[in-house]
Amino acid sequence: MPDMTPSAVLQVEGLVKRFSTGDETITALDHVSFEVAQGEVLSVIGPSGCGKSTVFNIIGGLTDADEGRVVVEGEAVSGPHPAIGMVFQEESTFPWRTVAENIAFPLEIAGKAKDERVARARQYLALVGLQGFDRHYPAELSGGMRQRVAIARTLASQPKILLMDEPFAALDEQTRFLLGDKVMQIQQKLAQTTLLVTHNIAEAVQLSDRVVVMTYRPGRVKRVVAIDLPRPRTSEVVGSVAFQAFVAEIWNDLREEASRGMLDAEAHSRRVAIGTPASLNE
């Protein structure tokens, strides 16, 4: 169990999650604990299959943990909580709504008056740098712009904690760096507490104050790396020696886990192939 710091906004305590697949039970998460301080950006990184997305879903209230709890500002939460705003990996804008209507969605749900919705939508549109696109539909925007709309929509609900699951995974590397800059600007402007789930080491180092490195199945916290690169930060930091050193350090921790994951995937493929009728293998 982690020590509780007074400024911790989010505490994740001893999360355990098991999944049943036919006759075997897989432990996806094994007593995962960490905390996020006010205004901090914390990344959770690990190889595929380490349970990162399960952590995301449990904190966001979309999945229940078998053991452990999630505490927001001292209050244990179950289910989706208004203090937590989620940004998803997949493209998640509503295609039938304009950009402004997408951003105003949480305000509409909260029953805010139209004038307030419009004003707030404009404000967050400007924050993500999409002024002038308020009447466009998502289909008219690039993938990076759509993800900015999704981020603005989540920020419009004014969450205490911004929870992001590999939000740039579907984008090319250059857009990813530039969008990282945008997220850092927003985070610094709003002092937004942010929890980022990712498998991209450079992204985690670029954006975070601390990085939680997870083990391959069962997912456990292997190490927490403090990233003491100076702030305000931009993507220019990726050229620095310190940045490369952090990337190398985290990769050293991850390499063993990623190798285990790869071997496990190969073993699984072999099992599937053996179970396949011989005629299909010929």
Q: Is 86 in the site for other proteins (CB under 8 A)?
A: yes
Cis peptide leading into residue 6 (ω within 30°): no
Q: Is 143 in the site for other proteins (CB under 8 A)?
A: no
Q: Is 106 in the site for other proteins (CB under 8 A)?
A: yes
Q: Is 62 in the site for other proteins (CB under 8 A)?
A: yes
- 100: which residues sit within 8 A by CB, 6+ positions away? 118, 121, 122, 125, 134, 135
Q: Is 82 in the site for other proteins (CB under 8 A)?
A: yes
214-252 as b/e, with b when 16 or more CB fall inside 10 Å?
bbbbbbbbbeebebeeeeebebebbeeeebeebbebbee
Q: Is 92 in the site for other proteins (CB under 8 A)?
A: yes
> Which of 14, 37, 68, 137 is close enough to bind other proteins by CB under 8 A?
137
- Cβ proximity of 27 and 50 under 8 Å: no
- Cβ proximity of 253 and 50 under 8 Å: no
Of 165 and 253, which CB lies nearer to other proteins in the complex structure? Answer: 165
Q: Is 160 in the site for other proteins (CB under 8 A)?
A: no
Q: Footprint of other proteins on residues 2-61 (CB under 8 A)?
A: 60-61
- Cβ proximity of 165 and 56 under 8 Å: yes
Residue 87 and residue 183: Cα distance in Å, rounded?
Answer: 12
DSSP per-residue string spanning 56-98: HHHHHTSS--SEEEEEETTEEE-S--TTEEEE-SS----TTS-
Q: Please tell me what DSSP assigns to residue 4.
A: P
State the chain's maximal CA–CA distance in angstroms: 67
CB of 127 to other proteins, least distance (A): 19
Residue 90 tokens, joined? 């997949």
> Which of 1, 113, 139, 278 is close enough to bind other proteins by CB under 8 A?
139
Q: Is 80 in the site for other proteins (CB under 8 A)?
A: yes
Q: Is 167 in the site for other proteins (CB under 8 A)?
A: no
Reading phi first (left if > 0) and then psi (alpha if -120 to 50, else beta), residue 22 is in left
CB of 112 to other proteins, least distance (A): 13
Residue 1 tokens, joined? 């169990």
Of 101 and 203, which CB lies nearer to other proteins in the complex structure? Answer: 101
> Which of 74, 79, 132, 230 is close enough to bind other proteins by CB under 8 A?
79
Q: Is 251 in the site for other proteins (CB under 8 A)?
A: no
Residue 275 and residue 245: Cα distance in Å, rounded?
Answer: 45
> Which of 43, 53, 147, 157 is close enough to bind other proteins by CB under 8 A?
157
Q: Is 109 in the site for other proteins (CB under 8 A)?
A: yes
Of 96 and 251, which CB lies nearer to other proteins in the complex structure? Answer: 96
> Which of 2, 37, 94, 175 is close enough to bind other proteins by CB under 8 A?
94
CB of 89 to other proteins, least distance (A): 8
Q: Is 91 in the site for other proteins (CB under 8 A)?
A: yes
Residues at the site binding other proteins, with contacts judged by CB under 8 A: 60-62, 79-82, 84-86, 88, 90-92, 94-96, 105-106, 108-109, 137-139, 157
